[in-house]
Amino acid sequence: MSNLKPIHIEATTLPDAWFQTVYKCLEVGEIFKIDQGSYEGQQRLEFDHITIHIKKPGVHPLLPKIPEQYNIPDPADERYLDDYLPYLMTGELKEGESYTYGHRICNVSFNCPEYVQKKIDIYKADLFKISVPVSSLIRTINQMELFIEEYKKGHRSNQRIIQVAQPLDCILVDPPCLRHIDTRIQDNKLHFFPYFRSWDLFNGFPVNLAAIQMMKEYMAAEIGVDDGEIIAASKGLHLYDHVWELAEAMRGKTIKEFRGEIK
């Protein structure tokens, strides 16, 4: 019999999704010691697997605001979101960075065999920029702009998934948490299905989803369809132990009380 406890949350807006998910994590999350990676040696409260269906992710504010009476700082602010957007939506790679989400999405280098070149000829030349001399057949691609062009043709497809992960990520000290953003146009709306292998719920979740929502709005406008919904998934959404007291104060109940450890 399986001991895994998959969770599903239905939310209206991005802030609603955050509050519901934080509360649920306190109730049912499992406590694990971090053996490897960020915050090694600390503990985190983690879902086995979760999906969060957000029906109106474009409703503002995109970031959650914690009521003043709790005297707890908001998990993120608009300035940080503004700084984060280029990390997701541009191909810029600064000195010392092995990757960014935007570099993986908007500036992907690949070897261009003949059968790929035939497809390239169908699209705008600026979607497939030459990154080294033509003779080497190495090109770069902007996945976001390519899918905009493909969706403009009106085809429904299960192929248009924005990839962030790469096989060699397995040798990185800190591989990308966001692995892909699957996409679909249905009922004349663009929907996103992001997947995170590991995901900081308290501070990362709000900014990640707000930026992903803004990417979706941009793509929908360029394609000429309406903005749609988000169904996010993760097998590693968690609360680090240094924010447990903040989350408990918001919820009005401790982790131990949820587990019946306090009479």
CA distance 199 to 21: 12
Span of 30-34, 114-118, 133-137, 158-162 with lowest mean pLDDT: 133-137
Beta strands 43-46; 237-240: pairing state: antiparallel
CA distance 45 to 255: 10
pLDDT at site 138: 66
Structure tokens at 36: 């490897």
Report which residue type is found at 129.
K
Apex 33 CA angle, 30 and 36, nearest 5: 125
CA distance 194 to 197: 10
Between these two residues, 39 and 227, which has the higher pLDDT value?
227
pLDDT at site 130: 44
Length in residues, the chain: 263
Structure tokens at 33: 């010691």
CB count, 10 Å around CB of 6? 12
If DSSP codes are grouped into helix, strand and coil, which group holds residue 158?
A: coil
CA distance 191 to 220: 9
| Band of pLDDT at residue 163, cut at 50, 70 and 90 | very high
**Is the Cβ–Cβ distance between 92 and 100 less than 8 Å?**
yes
CB count, 10 Å around CB of 60? 9
pLDDT at site 171: 87
Domains of the chain: 6-107+142-179+194-258 (3.30.572.10)
**Is the Cβ–Cβ distance between 72 and 249 less than 8 Å?**
yes
- Whether 222 shows a pLDDT value over 80: the answer reads yes
Instruction: Kindly report, residue by residue over 90-111, the tens digit of the pLDDT.
Output: 988 888 788 899 999 998 777 6
pLDDT at site 119: 55
Structure tokens at 35: 């053996």
20: phi then psi, degrees, rounded to nearest 5: -60, -40
pLDDT at site 134: 47
**Is the Cβ–Cβ distance between 6 and 28 less than 8 Å?**
no
- Mean pLDDT within 29-45: 84
CA distance 194 to 180: 6
Report which residue type is found at 167.
P
Q: Give Cα separations from 53 to 87, 89, 111, 139, 140 (angstroms).
A: 24, 23, 37, 36, 33
- Mean pLDDT within 213-232: 97
Q: Which residues lie below 8 Å from residue 152, measured CB to CB, with a gap of 6+?
A: 223, 224
Note the pTM of the prediction, 2 decimals.
0.89
pLDDT at site 131: 45
Q: Pick the closest to residue 84 from 218, 213, 208, 217 (CA basis).
A: 208
pLDDT at site 121: 53
- Whether 118 shows a pLDDT value over 60: the answer reads no
Round the average pLDDT of the chain to a whole number and report it.
88
Q: Pick the closest to residue 24 from 242, 263, 261, 234 (CA basis).
A: 234
Beta strands 108-111; 138-141: pairing state: antiparallel
